[in-house]
Structure 1
Amino acid sequence: MIASARLSISEKGTITVHQQLNIYHMVGVLFPVGRDKTGVLGVHRLRAAGRYIESDCDELRHLFPHVQRALALRERLRHTVLAQGAAMDALERVDTGVLVVNASCVVLYANRAAERLLKSSSEIRTHLQCLCIDDPALNNRMARLVRDAVWTGDGKAHAPGAALAVPRPGRLPVTLLVVPWRENWTNDSASQPAASIFIRDPEASGPGACETLRELFGLTRAEAAIAVAIGEGQSLDQIAATFGVGLGTVRTHLKRALAKTGTSRQGALASLVARSVAGISPQT
């Protein structure tokens, strides 16, 4: 606000740099800009132009609010850019697949986790850029949830979002959450409403999970690998077969992993792995 700033007129040059630049008169103001920042607005005159008078200050008072608003807008834009950068960085690191689709299930955006999941899954995939599920009934339900979410984002309906499980024979299901979302996807200057889909595969860990667990709890490579496998829902027999070791060896590594992580049961270890930062990739 202009009330928070004080306009002042300096006498003619007493600073060497002013004399070197032939600047002898100045009228200016200091004002707060954002957190721990101060803005400076100054107007200078050559010696021959004469001193500033009160009417000059009045003209600056008319200009000052516009300058202050422009600087405040720049500060808000800086925070917006920072927030967008942080959001994109987070989206590319988490082990949750995130997609943005339109009403026809055409994928407009997919983060790395979503791309990995869609490439490895045989139950849910993309076909001609459209997200689809092999099971016709589940595919129709997903399409309906997406349309409801898109219409909600466009203000034509009220559907807060819904979840969907995609079964896999002999494996844990892939789970989806469809929610309304809207952003300015420019298409001939028209805004395109969309839906967000979050996908998680409980049997897929993010890259770098083992190394992160080793850093967190001091696990050996074998202990970390078994902890990750436990977090993915594998049984001890499955882990032994996967790593080509005996069941007793798996039990020994598991016992040590439980002790180092402060857990006492496989379920607690699985929960710790799932809820820790092991699911966030340190790789950029």
Structure 2
Amino acid sequence: MGTATASADVGELIAALYETACGTDDWPQFDSTALNSRQWQELLPHLQRALCLQQRLREAQLASRCALAALDAMGAAVLVLDAGLGLRFATPAGHALHAAQLAHTAPPALVRAVRLVIASAGASGPSQCQSLRLMRKQQTPLALTVTLLAACQPPCALLIARDPAQASTSATALRQLFDLTQAEALVGKELAQGATIEEIAARGGISVNTVKTHLHHTYLKTDTRRQGELIALIHGATAHLAVLDA
């Protein structure tokens, strides 16, 4: 941004302050000694407001970036849809899903779910939440969750789509959460993905007894006693961190 001199109109300087607060340019420069008392009285309130505006915008941008990063880490496609199934917002994965399957003809079940949760806006009691599957050609159906996003005006539906076939337990997270060794974490991960003890042994080139030893140590460290209990704990603790696995 160009330098604002003392001869410049104070109104132009005020406009430059708000423009900078809403953008990424440097603050305008000016010769403060060239401003008289009346000009300072006119300028200072706007300078304070511009600084507050810049701070609020930065906080909002940070919150937005954190939310998007969290959604990306969860491996979910997220869309915000209005009652007419119009796209109001989407993550990159959400845009891809919308272009591939929703832009032209949305499934009737999804249309009903979106309109049902939007219709619940303003009603007493908990907001409506709908779950359904979105069929795909030669691929596992996507698991969809549709819930109300009342913060929008008019209210919209928040659609979260996940691919069950891509769900993967994080061995890295297991090690960190429960102080497991790498071998113990891998046994727990494979159990959570449906493998048997014999399959884990064959894949790892180790004996069944070795796998059972790792499993016993994992029971002790996680305060569990049965495979079903351990698997439920693993899914609850790490499934949403699958994309962070090393």
Structure 1 stretches (4+) deviating beyond 6 angstroms?
Answer: none
Equivalent residue number for residue 159 of structure 2: 197
Cα pair 2:201 2:211 within 8 Å, conserved: no
**AA of the residue aligned to 1:251:** K
**Alignment of 1:81 onto 2:81:** no
Task: Please list every run of 5 or more consecutive structure 2 residues that lacks an aligned counterpart in the other structure.
Answer: 1-29, 136-140
1:164 to 2:138 alignment: no
Rg (Cα) greater in structure: 1
Q: TM-score, normalised by structure 2?
A: 0.59
Q: Within the alignment, does 1:181 sit opposite 2:149 as a pair?
A: yes
Of 245, 255, 259, which aligns to 2:220? 259
Deviation at 1:87, TM superposition (A): 1.0
1:216 matched to 2:177? The reply is yes
Does residue 57 in structure 1 map to residue 18 in structure 2? no
Q: CA deviation at 1:258?
A: 1.8
Distance 1:93 1:220 in 2: 24
CA-CA distance at 1:194 after TM superposition: 4.6
Query: Which residue in the other structure is 2:187 paired with?
Result: 226
- 1:66 maps onto 2:27 in alignment: no
Q: Structure 1 residue 80: deviation in Å?
A: 0.9
1:127 aligns to 2:101 (yes or no): yes
Considering fraction of residues, name the structure with more strand: 1
Give, in angstroms, the shift of residue 230 of structure 1. 3.7
Q: Please, what TM-score do these two structures have when normalized by structure 1?
A: 0.53
Give the aligned residue type for 1:109.
Answer: A
Structure having greater relative contact order (Cα 8 Å, sep ≥ 6): 2
Length, aligned pairs only: 206
What is aligned with 1:94? 74
Q: Does 1:109 align with 2:90?
A: yes
Equivalence for 1:3: none
Contact 1:161–1:180, Cα closer than 8 Å, also in 2: yes
Aligned counterpart, 2:196: 236
Separation in structure 1 between the aligned mates of residue 81 and residue 33 of structure 2, nearest angstrom: 56
1:161 alignment partner AA: Q
Structure holding more helix per residue: 2
Q: Which moved more, 1:78-87 or 1:255-264?
A: 255-264
CA RMSD in angstroms comes to 4.7
Residue equivalent to 2:10: none
Q: SS in structure 2 opposite 1:180? A: strand
| Kept after mapping to 1: 8 A contact 2:127/2:147 | yes
